[in-house]
Amino acid sequence: MADSREIMNAASKAKDLLIKDRPRGEHAFDDLLKQYPFDGMIYLKRAEAWEFLEEIGLARNDYADAARLLTMPKWKQPAENALRRLEGILKLKRDRDARSI
């Protein structure tokens, strides 16, 4: 079993891979989540990659999972902040789309 630092490093590498090569990055995260389904750091790093790729809905979902699973304020608070920020973006987009109908 890996320790939290090893899991964080693996998640960071998967994040970089997802940004550079989406199919391989998705596979890397799938493998990590099969091994460590309750590690919030994996969701946090994947959310950061999704946000970089402008996949706001996917990022929002992963930030929500990260915020729910992380316990250390050092990591939980940034996940919660990002979640609120993306929920605001998604609300603005929904409002804008509703006005254009």
What local confidence, expressed as pLDDT, does residue 1 receive? 63
What local confidence, expressed as pLDDT, does residue 45 receive? 98
Q: 40-52 and 22-35 are packed helices; what angle lies between their axes, rounded to 10 degrees?
A: 170
How far is residue 57's CA from residue 90's CA, in Å, rounded to a whole number? 8
What local confidence, expressed as pLDDT, does residue 56 receive? 95
Q: 14: exposed, middle or buried (C-beta count within 10 Å: 0-12, 13-18, 19+)?
A: buried
pTM of the model: 0.92
Domains of the chain, each with CATH number or no CATH = 4-99 (1.25.40.10)
DSSP per residue over 71-90, as a string? Answer: -SHHHHHHHHHHHHHHHHHH
Cα dihedral sign for 51, 38, 81, 15? Answer: negative
pLDDT tens series, the chain, 101 aa = 689 999 999 999 999 999 999 999 999 999 999 999 999 999 999 999 999 999 999 999 999 999 999 999 999 999 999 999 999 999 988 888 888 76
